[in-house]
Amino acid sequence: MRYLTAGESHGPQLTAIIEGVPAGIAVSLDEINQELARRQGGYGRGGRMKIEKDQVQITSGIRHGKTLGAPITMVVENRDWKNWQTVMSVEEVAEKDAQLRKVTKPRPGHADLVGGMKYQHRDLRNILERSSARETTMRVAVGGLAKQILKALDIEIASHVVNLGGIEAKIPEVISVKEIQQAAAASEVNMVDPSIEEAVKAKIDETKKAGNTIGGVVEVRLENVPAGLGSYVQWDRKLDGKIAQSIVSINAFKGVEFGVGFQAANLPGSEVMDEITWKEAEGYRRKTNHLGGFEGGMTNGEQIVVRGVMKPIPTLYKPLMSVDIDTKEPYKASVERSDSTAVPAAAIVAENVVATVIATEILEQFHSDNIADLINNVEEMRKQHLMF
C-alpha cells in the first residue's frame, strides 16, 4: 500500500490517492470523518478550525461500501477557498492581484525561508501553503482507512497527550488501548489524567493571551499486533525505524522514542530488557514492556508504545524578528492564522500516521488481493507463533 497527498492550505481542495488496498474491505465514511473531526478538536485550536468542518469525499476505488482493489481517491474541500480564489488562482492574474497576501518576511521555525531558497520563490506563500500542517488532513483521512484495515484484523490503536507545555500526565504502568480511548475521548486536552486537566487548560489560556505557543509529547499505543512485522536483515526494513520516520515527518515533530525511550540512557540493562516467559495458552510473552513492543526492528507481540515530541508552533501572534527577503531589512515575521497549541490534535495525527505505517507493513508482508485472504494469512502467522 502506498499513497500520495496533494493540495495547498488555502487552495480549493486537498487530495489523497491510495494504491494497494485489498478488495472487499467494508469502508465507513463516517469513521473517516470522525477521525477528521478529532484532528480539528482539542483545547487551544485557532480560528481556522471554526471555518473548516472537514468531510471526506471518495471519488474512486470504492463501490457499494467496499473497496474494489483499485486506487482510492479521497478529497476534502477547503471551505475557506471562496476567500482566496484570487490569491490562490491557478490562472495567471494581474500584477496587482499577484501582490495580494504576498509573504516576504519568513517566520522563524517554518519552512518559509529555506523553501524559498530551494525552489527560488520570491513570494514565500508558495512555500507556506504546502508546508502548512493543513496537509495532515489527508494523512488523517488515509489513516482513517488504514484503521479500518487494522480493525478487520482485530488490531486496536489509541493516542493521548502525555505532556503539554511541561505539565506531565500520570499514566499507569499498565494501561490498555481501550482505557486510553475512553479517557482521552472524555478530555478536552486528550489526556488520560483528569487531575491536571484544568491546569493544562489554564496554561493554554495563559499562552494564548501572551501571543505565544507551547508544545508537548504525544503517545500512540497498539494492541494485538502480530509478532514478526518488520525485519532485522536490512536497516530500511526495521519497522520501528519506519514508524520513527513517519512521526518526525508530522509538522513540528522533532523527536521520537519507544517504550522507556531516552530514559534507557540512565538505566542499567537489567531494567531495560524485557524477560521472556512462555505459557501454552498464550505462547511467548514479556514480563515487562520497556522496549515498547520492538526487538531487533521487529514487533514482539507486546503492546506497541511510541511517543513523539512536538515543538511549539512557530507562528506567533507576537512574532519574532526576521528579515524581509526583498529589502534585507529586519522586520517582525509574517503572521498567519494559528493556534496557541495543537498538541491534542497532533496526537490524532500521530495515531493515524502510525496506523497507516502498520497497515502498510502488514500488506507488504502478507500480500493479499482481498480482505478474506489477508485475514487468513495473518491468523495463520499468529497460530504458527503460538506453536513455535
| Residue positions forming the annotated binding site for FMN | 130-132, 251-252, 296, 311-315, 337
**Per-residue cell: 322:** 526576521
In the annotated binding site for NADP(+), the residues are 39, 45
User: Given 3-state DSSP classes, what are the helix, strand and coil percentages for the chain, each rounded to the nearest 5?
Assistant: 40, 20, 40
Q: Which residues of 336-348 are buried (b: 16+ CB within 10 A; e: fewer)?
A: bebbbbbbbbbbb
Residue 279, SS3 per DSSP = strand
Residue 168's DSSP bridge partners are 163
Among left, alpha and beta (phi > 0; psi -120 to 50; other), residue 17 is beta
Q: Which residues of 67-98 are buried (b: 16+ CB within 10 A; e: fewer)?
A: bbbeebebbbbbebeeebeebbeeeeeeeeee
Q: Comparing C-alpha atoms, which of 242, 183, 189, 180 is closest to residue 216? A: 189
Residue 95's DSSP bridge partners are none
Question: Exposed/middle/buried for 388, CB within 10 Å: 0-12, 13-18, 19+?
Answer: exposed
Strand order in the sheet with 13-19: 2-6, 13-19, 72-77, 56-60
**Per-residue cell: 129:** 501553503
Distance separating alpha carbons of residues 122 and 120, to the nearest angstrom: 6
Give 280's contacts (C-beta < 8 A, 6+ positions apart). Answer: none
Helix (H) or strand (E) holding 51: helix 48-51
Other beta carbons less than 10 A from residue 125's beta carbon: 22
In the annotated binding site, the residues are 39, 45, 130-132, 251-252, 296, 311-315, 337
> From start to end of the chain, where are the E strands?
2-6, 13-19, 56-60, 62-63, 66-67, 72-77, 156-164, 167-168, 216-223, 253-258, 276-279, 283-286, 294-295, 298-299, 304-310, 321-323, 330-332
Angle between helices 136-152 and 29-40 in degrees, nearest 10: 130
